[in-house]
Amino acid sequence: MSSNFVDSQGSTLVVALAELEGHLSEVLKEVRRLRALARALEEENQRLRTIMFAAQAGEGGYQQLLRFYEEGFHVCPPHFARVRDGDGCLFCQSFLEKKGLQSHG
């Protein structure tokens, strides 16, 4: 084998390894971001569970949904347990009205 061929392959390998290290660094950065997001979502999920399943004397399931809605969370199936952005949600209101819990105008 000629030394030019070995040098050419060697430098190509070095470039490929450098590119691979760059990609690996990006993947690790994304994994760290996703882990942080997962932790935040798990914490919010636990907080929402605490709110939803808080035992309150004489409060039935629909009253819990109404309270949950009034605390600023969606109770409609498409957006359940997501934080509402301050305004009412027509889906939630319709759902609660069907259940005879509340009438919003």
Alpha helices in the chain (DSSP H): 3-52, 61-70, 90-98
Q: Tell me the pTM.
A: 0.47
Using the structure block, give the residue that is written with the tokens 């907080």. 47
pLDDT for position 81: 81
pLDDT at 104 over 50: no
DSSP conformational letter for 31: H
Residue 71: Cβ-neighbour burial (10 angstroms; 0-12, 13-18, 19+): exposed
pLDDT for position 103: 45
Give Cβ neighbours of residue 68 (< 8 Å, ≥ 6 apart): 51, 52, 75, 81
Q: Write the pLDDT tens digit of every residue in 35-68.
A: 999 999 999 888 877 766 665 555 677 777 888 8
Phi and psi at residue 87, to the nearest 5°: -85, 160
